[in-house]
Amino acid sequence: MRMSAAPPDDFVAYVDRRLPQVRARVAGEVPAPDRDEVLTEVLTGLAGRWALLRVAARLGRPALTDRCVERLVVHRARLWRERQIYPVEVTVWDLPPAPPRPAGPTGPVSVALRRASVLDSTVRPPLAALAEASTAWWHAYEARRRAGRIVRVTLFVLFLLAIWTAAG
């Protein structure tokens, strides 16, 4: 199966729908500093299996994707714990409350500043799902490409050995 370099729309849509649940599940298994690393590993594993999971969904097994994500979270969290060489200590700090913001600008105010409160926001919606999906898909794509190269080189070497053996 060939894998494109860009993630398919259904993969991005799945990550968009499930990212908060997967992130929360990873947070239950791994401490804060390493959550993003494990989350990327989970999504990369999902991206590598996506074609087979889509076939399973077409054959009437759509829940298989969620079970695969659950197994990937458990597996990657276990691998993360095995890589730790020291006990993990967690300290929770309470942040001081933020200072109160002034109600409005003081002093001379421009017309643009007065109109800013009625204008639509220029802040774009978060692109977290697209970024996570694209990163995971690229890692899976590169892994599949490397595996393909290894297979081709191995077959070529075996072919040369077979010719050498037959000629000798």
109-149 pLDDT, tens per residue? 666 666 666 666 666 656 888 888 889 999 999 999 999 99
Q: Which pLDDT score is estimated for 106? A: 63
Tell me the whole-structure pTM to 2 decimals. Answer: 0.64
What integer is the mean pLDDT of 90-106?
A: 71
Q: How far apart are CA 20 and CA 109, in angstroms?
A: 41
Range among 83-87, 132-136, 158-162 rated most confident: 158-162
Quote the CA–CA distance of 45 and 73 in Å, as a whole number.
10
Q: Among candidates 116, 156, 133, 150, which has minimal Cα distance to 9?
A: 133
What b-and-e string marks burial along 59-85, b requiring 16 or more CB atoms within 10 Å of the CB? eeeeebbeebbeebbeebbeebeeeee
